[in-house]
Every structure is written in structure tokens, then in C-alpha cells.
Amino acid sequence: MRGGLAFVGAPAGHGLPLVEAPLPRGSERLRGNAGHAASGGLGTSGATCVGLAAAACVAAAAARRARSAVRRRAVDGPGGFYQKSIIPSGTTTSTMTEEEQEDFLEKRCDALEKLMPMSDQEFDDEVEELTWTWARHLLPYTNVARADKAAHKRKTILRQKAFFKKMRLFKPLAIKYPTLMKRLIVQDNPDMEDIRYKISGEWIANEEKIAGFTYEDFVKGIDGGKYTGWKLPQVGDEKEGTVVDFDDKGAFLDIGDKAWAFVPLDQVSLVPISKAEEVLKLGQTVKGKVICEGGHSRLIGDEFVTQFIVSITALESEAAWEAIDKITRGESDASPILQVSVMSMKSFGAVVMTETGLEALIPNSQLADRVGDTSLVGQTIGAQIFQQNVEKRNAGPALAPRDFALLLSYKNVATKELAAKLEEGMVVDATVKMPLEKSLDVMVDNVQCTIRKVDISGKTAFNLMQLFEVDEKIKVYVLSTTEESGEIRLSTRALERRPGEILRDKAGMFERAEATAKMYLKSSRDARKALLSDLEDVLADLPGLAGGAPPKKPGGAIYLDDDDDDGGIGF
């Protein structure tokens, strides 16, 4: 459609609404007489005039052929010259007789007249106001050429008053540009002397068929041209639209505005994509937030129309952060474990992306043994929220660790998964990661765990860095696990038959680890049962929690290899 007007009556891709009415017979006779007078009864001067006239006609014909060639080049191909075929036009076929067209237009005009009434006096007043606008009578000077054009336009309207009263029902701008009507007739070679216009009913019907609604529906939607209740979207408004087209830079949405809204590629999805078609489909209904109004048009051939710029990621980001907040609040329907994809491995940690498209960082301190492990890139791992900064949620791309709004922990998730697999009393293999002054870091099933010095041996006067070597293979006893928090307590002290055995015979202690672990587990459970029984007896002797005192715990230590212990273990 050209110039913002949906004119009708032309071949496919060209909106021309008029058909040329036939010339009256009087005009034909006038032309015939004029031709006869020009061809005969002329003297020398007359012949000269004829020669000049013939030369002028030849020049005019050549100019017309040149214009016709340019016009043909301009309309070659679908959609016209330099115009992408965005709005379907279709081809008007002659399927209606003259009587059917007249009946169709009469019904349409009657219905539209009721919705947009205008009396003859109101029509004349509008013509006079337009005449003043064309001639600019309020200027302190008079432009004769402008006044003549205004008078010509006024005469054109009043001469075809019935036509323009009908035409304004379909094309309200027709009355503002009356002389352009002559250029929009359907004929290939229109006669500029013909001053009568006629609306093509077939084209009006074809427009309604393609659009999927009638002119009456449109006028009802705009409340008879009053546009009451219409409100343009504002920046920040949420709009629902239908995906209608794509290009290399994004997608077009029909949000009910005159022009389609545009969704830039970086606003289509939080997940990196190369084309909008990867996440959107034609006809799909999506929601977005208006982030710009009056944006430069992305439609080829429609350079003067502005568009709304819509962001789908704005709403996706809000929903994604709301899910993070639910986890932080500890709501029951929110899983604390996030599945994330490792995007890249940096010197300060792993840059990951959640399933909802949020970018996050797992610092090296929370990567456990996977620090600098580039094999993680492209893999999906579990992570837990470690820290978040609300102020940096909309701060833009993160370049440094301090720029990330969300920090995750891989270590916590790994320990939780390990805690779910371990049980009290188990003996598992471990590898010494790093002996420290007051603790020992070991790797159990590729998860880093820490053993306190007090859980290493029954005697405390020893140096961990002298007792263990890095990458040494050892065995550890599982004292307790807490799956909810991922806490795991390991011990080598429970594998000692006598305090300090690991300092004297470390290899032998690890060889007897499974047998010692069974004895320790039985003894520890028996001790807990006895303690619980004593506590119940004490509570029974304290009516109303008054009187009596709990018995003292039996003191002393029992050695596992002492014959007097009768196989019992106690602490």
C-alpha cells in the first residue's frame, strides 16, 4: 500500500480505488470535429502550425513512453518498487456484475453513513476549511498560484460531491487530496480530460476479504472516527501481541497499533540465539514490555512510520528473578537446586546460565575441585544460590566478578548429592587434597570434604602436614550426614582401636578399617540408646520438671583391644 492509503481497484500490489467512467458522446463529437478542423482547410501558416503541433505530439508521446517505462520498472516484482511485501494484497478478479457492485456499495455506504453521519452543510463547511488550508488565506500576502490550486481542488470536490461523500466513508483522506484521485484510476492510459470518478466495488470487497473484517467493523472499532477509549501504549506497559513476521534483526508483533511493533534480536530471549525463529513461531501469541516509542521503522518502503520497540526478555527476566526470590524465601514449591549450563571458564570462576536465561557466576571458592576445569564448558550441572545482589539485576552485561547479580555454589550442591548417597557407619575411599594445620581436605567421590583435626586421632599432639601427603589414598568413616544442608562429617579417629593408632600404624589401621567400623557403629548406637534411656528415667523422676538431678555420665575410656572390655566400645 502506498503513501499510507489503502486505495483500491488496481492489480496485485497496487492500491488504486477508482475506475474511469466513459466519456460522454458530446465529448467524442467535439474531439472528432476538432480533428477534422485540424486536418483540412489550412494554408501555409496553418501547415506550419500543424507541423509544430505534430512535433509537440511526437515529443509528448516519447515523454509518455519514458514515463511508462519508468513506471513499469517501478512496479516490477511483488510489493512494488523498493517495497517488501508485508501486507497481503491479492489480485482483484472480476466476479461482480455492475448491478452487484452498486448493491454492495449502496449497502456499505448506508451502514457507514449511520456510523459516521455528515450532513450536506457539514460537508460544505469541511470543504471551505480545506480551501482555506490549501490557499493559506491567513498569510499577510497572496500567492496567486496557491490560490488557483485551492480553487481547482474545491471545484473538483464540489463537481463530484456525491462521489467524495461516499469516498470519505472508505478513505477519509480522499477529500484532503482530491486532485490525486485522477492519478489513481485503474486504466493503464487514463484520459486526463475525464472529470468523473467511480468507486470500484470489487476492490472494496477484495480489501475486506484480505483484511478479514469489513469497513463497518473498522469504523465500529474506532467509534465512528472519535477513537474514544483508544490509548497508545506507553513505555513500561505490558502488551500482548501476535508474531506476524521475522527479519535478520528480530521479529514483528501485531499489538493493535497502526504499525507492527518490533522486537530486536537481543530482546527476544534471555538465552543467546542467532535468529528469532529459534524461539518464536508465526501466529504465536507472546507478551512483552514496551521499552521505546517512536522507534525508527524497520519496514522496507515505510521509512516515515515509527514503531514501538517491545522487549520479551524484560518480562522473562522479571519471572526468572521471581523464581530466584522464591528459592531465597524457602518456599516449598521451589527447588533449591538450580540446573545451569556452563558457558565459559574464567580465571575467577565459571560463568553459567540458568534454565530461565539468567547469567550467574560460580566463584572459584565454590567450584570445589573443578577450578579451571574447562571440560565443564557446555555441561549442565547443579548449583545452589550462594549470594545475590538485587541492585545489579538490571546493570547490564557482567565483565568482572563484582558485576554479577547472582553467585552460585557448585560445592554445596555436590556435597548435598554426596550426603544423599552416604550413610552413618560407611567406610569410603578418600584422597588427600591438602593437609592444613587444623583440618584435612580430602576428595570423596570427586567432592571436596573437610575433616577436623579432632576427628583425625584420639591424640591431638601431632602435625597433619607430617602425617599425610598430598594425593595419598586413605579410608574415612562416615560419622553423620545431613542431606538438607549437605553437611558431611568424616573421621579417621573412629577407625582407631586405641587412641593414636593412626600415628603408630596407619597402614594397618586402614587394613582393619571395615571390621573396626562395624564395632564402632554398634558401640556408638548402643551408647546412644543407653543415654536416651537414662534421660527418660531422669525425666520420669522429675514431676513438673522439679526435684532430682540427672545421674552423672560414667567416665573413663574403653580400649577396643582390652580383654576386659568384652568387645564393648564406649566414650
| Residues 36, 43: Cα–Cα separation, whole Å | 15
- Per-residue pLDDT, averaged over 396-415, amounts to 84
Residues 300, 390 within the same domain: no
Asked if residue 202 is part of any domain, the answer here is: yes
Task: Kindly report, residue by residue over 159-190, the tens digit of the pLDDT.
Answer: 889 889 998 999 888 889 888 776 665 444 55
Number of compact structural domains in the chain: 4
**What burial class does residue 203 get, using C-beta atoms within 10 Å of its C-beta: 0-12 exposed, 13-18 middle, 19+ buried?**
buried
Task: Kindly report, residue by residue over 347-395, the tens digit of the pLDDT.
Answer: 999 999 988 888 899 998 888 778 888 888 988 888 888 888 888 887 7
Q: Which residue type does 376 have?
A: L
Top-confidence residue, 28 or 426: 426
| Residues 250, 312: Cα–Cα separation, whole Å | 11
| Residues 500, 256: Cα–Cα separation, whole Å | 81
Top-confidence residue, 15 or 213: 213
Task: Please measure the distance between the N-terminal and C-terminal CA atoms of the chain and give it in whole angstroms.
Answer: 93
Distance of CA 291 to the CA centre of its chain: 12
Asked if residue 47 is part of any domain, the answer here is: no
Q: Is the confidence at residue 496, as pLDDT, over 60?
A: yes
Residues 170, 108 within the same domain: yes
Asked if residue 563 is part of any domain, the answer here is: no
Alpha helices in 198-286 (DSSP H): 201-211, 215-221
**What burial class does residue 95 get, using C-beta atoms within 10 Å of its C-beta: 0-12 exposed, 13-18 middle, 19+ buried?**
exposed
Residues 308, 269 within the same domain: yes
Asked if residue 542 is part of any domain, the answer here is: no
Asked if residue 43 is part of any domain, the answer here is: no
Residues 376, 462 within the same domain: no
CA nearest neighbour of 446 among 480, 399, 414, 477? 414
Least-confidence region, from 249-258, 344-353, 562-571: 562-571
Residues 207, 175 within the same domain: yes
Residues 394, 429 within the same domain: no
DSSP E strands: which ranges in 220-368? 238-247, 250-254, 261-264, 285-296, 306-311, 337-346, 349-354, 359-363
**Residue 354 in contact with residue 383, Cβ under 8 Å?**
no
* Listed residues 282, 317, 352: the one ending a domain: 317
Please identify which residue in the block is written with the cell numbers 501481541: 241
CA nearest neighbour of 12 among 64, 83, 88? 88
Q: For residue 305, what is the domain's CATH number?
A: 2.40.50.140
User: What's the confidence (pLDDT) of residue 242?
Assistant: 92
Asked if residue 351 is part of any domain, the answer here is: yes
Q: Give the CA angle between residues 74, 77, 79 to the nearest 5°.
A: 85
Asked if residue 211 is part of any domain, the answer here is: yes
Q: How many CB atoms lie within 10 A of CB 273?
A: 14
| Residues 424, 429: Cα–Cα separation, whole Å | 15
Residues 497, 478 within the same domain: yes
CA nearest neighbour of 217 among 226, 230, 208? 208
| Residues 382, 335: Cα–Cα separation, whole Å | 11
Range of 503's domain? 422-525
| Residues 432, 449: Cα–Cα separation, whole Å | 10
* Listed residues 366, 388, 415: the one ending a domain: 415
Asked if residue 325 is part of any domain, the answer here is: no
Share of the chain above pLDDT 70, in %: 75
- Per-residue pLDDT, averaged over 71-81, amounts to 36
Share of the chain above pLDDT 90, in %: 26
Least-confidence region, from 2-6, 55-59, 377-381: 2-6
Residues 357, 305 within the same domain: no
Residues 156, 271 within the same domain: no
120 DSSP β-pair partners? none
Task: Kindly report, residue by residue over 500-555, the tens digit of the pLDDT.
Answer: 999 999 999 999 999 999 999 888 888 888 888 878 877 777 765 544 455 555 55
User: What's the confidence (pLDDT) of residue 271?
Assistant: 81
What values do phi and psi take at 48, rounded to 5? -60, -45
User: What's the confidence (pLDDT) of residue 66?
Assistant: 46
**Residue 368 in contact with residue 448, Cβ under 8 Å?**
yes
CA nearest neighbour of 237 among 285, 290, 286? 290
Residues 432, 403 within the same domain: no
Residues 521, 432 within the same domain: yes
The overall average pLDDT reported for the chain is 77
3-class state of residue 236 by DSSP: coil
Cell numbers at 78, concatenated: 511483488
Report the residue count for the chain. 571
Residues 298, 370 within the same domain: no
| Residues 73, 537: Cα–Cα separation, whole Å | 106
User: What's the confidence (pLDDT) of residue 382?
Assistant: 86
Q: Which residue type does 446 have?
A: N
* Listed residues 397, 415, 433: the one ending a domain: 415
